[in-house]
Amino acid sequence: MTALLELREVTKIYSGGVFRRRTTVALDRVSLSIGTEKPTITAIAGESGSGKTTMGMLFLGFLPPTSGEILYKGKDLWAASKEEWRVFRREVQAIFQDPFEVYNPFYKVDHVLTMPIVRFHLANSRQGQQEMIEKALIDVGLRPEETLGRYPHQLSGGQRQRITVARALLLQPKLIIADEPVSMVDASLRATILQSLRKLNQELGISILYITHDLATAYHICENIMVLYQGSVAEAGDVETVIKNPQHPYTRLLVGSIAWPDPRHKWGQEVAEYRGETLTQKTAGCKFAPRCPRAKPICRESPPPLYQTNHTRAAACYLYEDNPILAGHEIGRVLSQ
């Protein structure tokens, strides 16, 4: 079966600077595919600079890959026809992080909802359009009369973010790329929005790519997780397996740093022996080697491949070199598809 959308060994390099070409490798040979059978919620977790947002942009077709391929229903997206791109636009949507930036200050908030309906001819009459919008707003816990007809600055961050979720409800795409959808929203509203995302997945069969730095919410809502470190996959697999028993040293550091909102589950000591922020020299081998307390000589020479440690997890670390090697694009094997 061909995946809906797949990144295959994709690398993205940003180059800047007029005289000296300063290049930064945002993504380094990463693969991930979103299946069509079972709608899944997959978390792309990592700190700032890990390349998770770049990955989202690649999936959305906003950025061409430097190398590797982006396959839409098996065909190279960037070679697709204009018509195919229209269908792609309809089937792959996004929810962005900043509820203030998503609205054009010149228009009322309705503009964000009416635009896709008109462009994609989702409703046959103005009456039908109004009904669709009101139903979507109610589904995300907003009262239409309190929300429509207002300008963006007249609504709270939480209300605005729920409107963008309603927008996704309207379009009923096959895949939503949610880039940090709740990081700028208060705790009380965070749950409501995550609830709506789960509803999109379970009731409407929409797959979701949940890009975040907050592993606690990822643990709560996602089934699969892929942890990125400086553009490479550190660990991937079932979220409960990875969070409850992280194997890759970086994932252990990340999970150990989660501030669980539970006084009984205090921060342990294990994080203490990681070296703090060091000047990141470029090493040939594993990118985490300079900070890794258990780095071996081989770690500094060549980048570790993915080792499949059990049927629902793979980690790119020489500590597990006695496990079978998993090729980059076969990562789907450890993720429930």
- Nearer residue to other proteins within complex by CB, 184 or 305: 184
2-31 residues near other proteins, rule: CB under 8 A: 17-20
Does residue 47 belong to the site contacting other proteins (CB under 8 A)? yes
- Nearer residue to other proteins within complex by CB, 97 or 308: 97
- Nearer residue to other proteins within complex by CB, 130 or 323: 130
- Nearer residue to other proteins within complex by CB, 191 or 298: 191
Strands in 232-238's sheet, in edge-to-edge order, are 92-95, 175-179, 207-212, 41-45, 224-229, 232-238, 313-315, 306-310, 325-326
Does residue 94 belong to the site contacting other proteins (CB under 8 A)? yes
Structure tokens at 202: 């379970």
Q: Which residues pair with 29 in a beta bridge?
A: none
CA distances from 182 to 58, 205, 215, 216 (A): 21, 21, 12, 12
Does residue 268 belong to the site contacting other proteins (CB under 8 A)? no
Q: To the nearest whole angstrom, how small is the minimum distance from the Cβ of residue 233 to other proteins?
A: 18
3-state secondary structure at position 326: strand
110-169 residues near other proteins, rule: CB under 8 A: 112, 115-116, 119-120, 141, 156-159, 164, 167
Among 23, 38, 62, 154, the residue binding other proteins under the rule CB under 8 A is 62
Q: To the nearest whole angstrom, how small is the minimum distance from the Cβ of residue 187 to other proteins?
A: 6
Q: Which amino acid is at 284?
A: A
Does residue 59 belong to the site contacting other proteins (CB under 8 A)? no
161-220 residues near other proteins, rule: CB under 8 A: 164, 167, 186-195, 198, 213-217, 219-220
CA distances from 105 to 67, 137, 148, 151, 182 (A): 37, 20, 15, 7, 21
241-260 residues near other proteins, rule: CB under 8 A: 253-254, 256-260
318-337 residues near other proteins, rule: CB under 8 A: none
Residue 69: which of 29, 40, 23 has the closest Cα?
Answer: 29
Q: Which residues pair with 22 in a beta bridge?
A: 16
Structure tokens at 257: 């740093």
Does residue 271 belong to the site contacting other proteins (CB under 8 A)? yes
